Chain A
Amino acid sequence: MSTATADIHDRPAESRVNYLNASYGIKSWLLTTDHKRIGLLYLGTITFMFLIGGTAAALMRLQLIEPQGALLEPETYNKMFSTHGIVMVFFFLVPSIPATLGNFLIPIMIGARDVAFPKLNLMSWYLFITGCAFALVAILSGGVDTGWTFYPPYSSLYSHTPVVVMALGIFIAGFSSILTGLNFVVTIHKMRAPGMTWFRLPLFIWALYATSLIFILGTPVIAITLFLLGLERLLHVGIFDPAIGGDPLLFQHLFWFYSHPAVYIMILPSMGVVSELITAFSRKKIFGYSFVAFSSLAIAVISFVVWGHHMFVTGQSIYAGLVFSVLSFLVAIPSAVKVFNWTATLYKGSISYQAPMLYALGFIGLFTMGGLTGLFLASLATDVHVNGTYFVVAHFHYIMVGGALMGYLGGIHFWWPKITGRMYPDMWARVSAVIVFVGFNLTFFPQFVVGYLGMPRRYAVYPAEFQVLNVMSSAGASVLAVGYIIPLVYLTWSMRYGAEAGRNPWGAAGLEWTTPSPPPTENFEVAPIVTEDAYNYPIKQPRDYPNAPGVAHV
């Protein structure tokens, strides 16, 4: 991919200056403008938030083991599902891949020294942790009970929980998203290395470009909406207040104008990761590069015109419902283009089932399930039946956990050797990938059934006939938790004890694999000049494979 000749006999990471050992001390991290370090700061922060959101989910699943509720007061249960939703959406999934892998990889993948605005990048992280701090204060002072959707007039006038503090946290974290998106767009436009044309960009970059457009165009709307909601709560009068002619439905329109595209903020980066993983582990050029690239943009564009499908039963006009239904079906086209192109890439590929690939294959299956059930929900009549049931819960968890989170974990496993310079134990990684897949399906497949049978979401109790399915779901959640904790342990372990990774442990194409692991602060020893398309497999350079899994195993 690059004319930079690789130093085959890399010195051990410790004796080479890289971004991790270039400077030491807490100050060198807190004041860093290095995009790689900022990516790691985000990684630590969102992992912490994930544990909080996961704990809330665990308490919910414990509660639902028994029809009358095993653990919590109904009010507490309401706070748990609100905390779970708010933390997982705004403080984990939205920043997950863009802020960690995106920050780390975008400049390296396009051959730049850093993002366009490094100080702004650091400021984004500070805004994010400020937002997290507000959210934590709201959680510790009792938590909100509005659900992650904050519908007024309940949230504005009636809820007795710290809604303003939580909304402020999301508002501030939103500016972190906006600035990250802005930074990425400018970086991808203006910082590409010589020869790195638009159609030589890795598909991960295309996916994050599309994501950044949604960050820029969507996030300001949720920001102003929550701002207006907070003012209304403080002043006891405002534009969503029915007493002075306000319409609470307007809030729902504005909320979903961001929050539906936000679904694609969560899934598009994962799609980008999967495109990288599928090619790397089937040793083939991607099938239909430009189709995959443009399908990312198509998803971003269509995402802004489908929000009304969240409001089919709110009394919105039937004609609006028809239009939103048709537009929502359109999303299936670019999504299917991606799935078909990935499977076509696998066809006659030289496939190896290493841990990242297992996550990628899991993604394709689960995302397809989530996408197809999305079509049920996009059709008006079916939606009336399943709206507000666990069917919806199962659907969006297949997209957000089965899709976005699987892609995130696959990406973390794929680029971990680049980030840390170390390999993790491959067998443990494969085992935990399988555990996540099994645990996920056991958790959420029963929810499709129980939802179709009519169990509503967001209730602390349920009729006794649904108990078997709920116990299955709770058992699955325990398995899933094990699948999340194992990687946390071995990835931490690998940072100190893992085998040296070398430049390119997977034998993958891409500029990031031509630079040492971990990369130097300036990313490349010699500024790269790109002369080839992306995914030019088989790669011509000798595979730098000294410590690859199965070759020199830990």
Chain B
Amino acid sequence: MSEMAAHGAHKHPPGFAHQFEDMAQQKEASTLGMWAFLVTEILFFGGMFTAYTIYRELHFESFVTGSHLLEVKFGATNTYVLICSSLTMALAIRSAQTGKRKGQIIFWLILTMILGALFLGLKLRFEWYRDYVDGIVPGISWAYNGPHAPGVQMFMCFYFFMTGVHALHMVAGLGILTVLVIMTARNKFSPEYYAPLEISGLYWHFVDIVWIFLFALLYLIGGRY
């Protein structure tokens, strides 16, 4: 009856927002919000995955030829890098949850950022840049004249659109991690309140999972090994 009066009177823990009744409600709301956001992300990528699936059926030979233009060793290395970064992200959340020193949380967060940046660096330097030099970037640098040329161009469109949108999500993730490092340094988190770390972790793991699908669908088709 008198929550409103009580609301103004007693002190709330740091990070508490006025529209909620208590920390439990706030945490439930932010977690549900992030899951709902991830649903929208699945549908966002889903449009491209659907189109990919249809064209792969229509132009299978071209897609295999196009796939063989990609370097599996870099794709595989990057997959490994991202899975490691998911581990370090989870360890950062664990450190906050168990009330470890803030230095430890920051250590895991920065390690996550380094791995994320390593992924982007490898992608940019050893894949996209080489593709540009080799002339297999549709619309920008296209000199491919091997078999299935039109269909290969279609495959490379998918490759660049999908990995490009994924990379944008990685960049956004690095931005979020930067904010988390600053928040940690300012003692915002405690075992009672670490929801921003947890829901950012959900986002980071989601972006990793998208990459795992991309790796399988783009690099590993056509029975190369």
Question: Hey, which bits of chain A sit against chain B, CB under 8 A?
Answer: 3, 112-118, 120, 178, 182-183, 185-186, 189-191, 216-221, 223-225, 227-228, 231, 234-239, 243-247, 250, 254, 522, 524-527, 529
14 new A-B contacts at CB < 8 Å, known A190-B25, A237-B157: A112-B19, A113-B19, A114-B18, A117-B29, A178-B40, A191-B29, A219-B40, A220-B47, A237-B142, A238-B138, A247-B54, A250-B54, A254-B47, A526-B4
Closest A residue to B39 by beta carbon equals: A216
B145 at the interface (CB under 8 A from A): no
Cα A524 to Cα B7 with chains together (Å): 13
Which residues of A lie under 8 Å from residue B19 when comparing CB positions? 112-116, 118, 191
Query: Are A235 and B138 in contact, CB atoms less than 8 angstroms apart?
Result: yes
Query: Are B161 and A231 in contact, CB atoms less than 8 angstroms apart?
Result: yes
Which residues of B lie under 8 Å from residue A118 when comparing CB positions? 17, 19
Cα A286 to Cα B194 with chains together (Å): 44
Query: Are A243 and B47 in contact, CB atoms less than 8 angstroms apart?
Result: no
Q: Which candidate, B80-88, B146-154, B183-191, is the interface stretch facing chain A?
A: B146-154
User: Among residues 12 to 31 in chain B, which have CB atoms less than 8 Å away from a CB atom of chain A?
Assistant: 17-20, 25, 28-30
Q: Which of A182, A185, A224 contacts B48 (CB 8 A)?
A: A224
Interface residue range, chain B = 35 or more
B122 → chain A closest CB, angstroms = 24
Which residues of B lie under 8 Å from residue A223 when comparing CB positions? 44
Which residues of A lie under 8 Å from residue B139 when comparing CB positions? 234-238
Task: Digitize B21-53: 1 where CB-to-A-CB distance is under 8 Å, 0 elsewhere.
Answer: 000010011101100110111011111101100
A-B pairs, top 5 by smallest CB distance, nearest first, are A235-B139, A220-B44, A114-B19, A224-B47, A220-B43
Query: Are B154 and A245 in contact, CB atoms less than 8 angstroms apart?
Result: yes
A30 → chain B closest CB, angstroms = 20
Which residues of B lie under 8 Å from residue A191 when comparing CB positions? 19-20, 25, 29
Q: Which of B2, B30, B151 contacts A526 (CB 8 A)?
A: B2
Cα A286 to Cα B134 with chains together (Å): 68
Which residues of B lie under 8 Å from residue A228 when comparing CB positions? 47-48, 51, 161
Which residues of B lie under 8 Å from residue A224 when comparing CB positions? 44-45, 47-48, 165
Query: Are A217 and B39 in contact, CB atoms less than 8 angstroms apart?
Result: yes
Residue pairs across A and B with Cβ atoms less than 8 A apart, 5 shown, are A221-B44, A228-B48, A239-B158, A247-B55, A525-B4
Query: Are A245 and B43 in contact, CB atoms less than 8 angstroms apart?
Result: no
Per DSSP, chain B at the interface is: helix
Q: Which of A218, A219, A221, A527 contacts B3 (CB 8 A)?
A: A527
Which residues of A lie under 8 Å from residue B118 when comparing CB positions? none
Closest A residue to B49 by beta carbon equals: A224
Cα A243 to Cα B149 with chains together (Å): 11
Of B36, B44, B138, B151, the most chain A CB neighbours within 10 A belong to B36
Closest A residue to B58 by beta carbon equals: A245
Question: Hey, which bits of chain B sit against chain A, CB under 8 A?
Answer: 1-4, 17-20, 25, 28-30, 32-33, 36-37, 39-41, 43-48, 50-51, 54-55, 58-59, 62, 138-140, 142, 150-151, 153-154, 157-158, 161, 165
B210 → chain A closest CB, angstroms = 13
Q: Which of B20, B43, B150 contacts A221 (CB 8 A)?
A: B43
Which residues of A lie under 8 Å from residue B46 when comparing CB positions? 220-221
Closest B residue to A4 by beta carbon equals: B1
B170 → chain A closest CB, angstroms = 17
B67 → chain A closest CB, angstroms = 16
Q: Which of A116, A234, A235 contacts B29 (CB 8 A)?
A: A116
Query: Are A237 and B4 in contact, CB atoms less than 8 angstroms apart?
Result: no
Query: Are A190 and B138 in contact, CB atoms less than 8 angstroms apart?
Result: no
Query: Are A250 and B1 in contact, CB atoms less than 8 angstroms apart?
Result: no
Which residues of B lie under 8 Å from residue A250 when comparing CB positions? 51, 54
Knowing A239-B161, A527-B2, the reply to whether A190 touches B28 (Cβ < 8 A) is: yes
Query: Are A117 and B33 in contact, CB atoms less than 8 angstroms apart?
Result: yes
Which residues of B lie under 8 Å from residue A245 when comparing CB positions? 55, 58-59, 62, 150-151, 154
Query: Are B3 and A186 in contact, CB atoms less than 8 angstroms apart?
Result: no
Cα A186 to Cα B25 with chains together (Å): 11
Query: Are A244 and B153 in contact, CB atoms less than 8 angstroms apart?
Result: yes
A85 → chain B closest CB, angstroms = 22
Query: Are B150 and A244 in contact, CB atoms less than 8 angstroms apart?
Result: yes
Which residues of A lie under 8 Å from residue B151 when comparing CB positions? 244-245
Which residues of A lie under 8 Å from residue B43 when comparing CB positions? 216-218, 220-221
Query: Are B40 and A216 in contact, CB atoms less than 8 angstroms apart?
Result: yes
Cα A42 to Cα B4 with chains together (Å): 28
Query: Are A190 and B29 in contact, CB atoms less than 8 angstroms apart?
Result: yes
Which residues of A lie under 8 Å from residue B161 when comparing CB positions? 228, 231, 238-239
Query: Are A237 and B153 in contact, CB atoms less than 8 angstroms apart?
Result: yes
Knowing A114-B19, A115-B19, A182-B36, the reply to whether A239 touches B157 (Cβ < 8 A) is: yes
Query: Are B55 and A113 in contact, CB atoms less than 8 angstroms apart?
Result: no
Cα A217 to Cα B171 with chains together (Å): 24
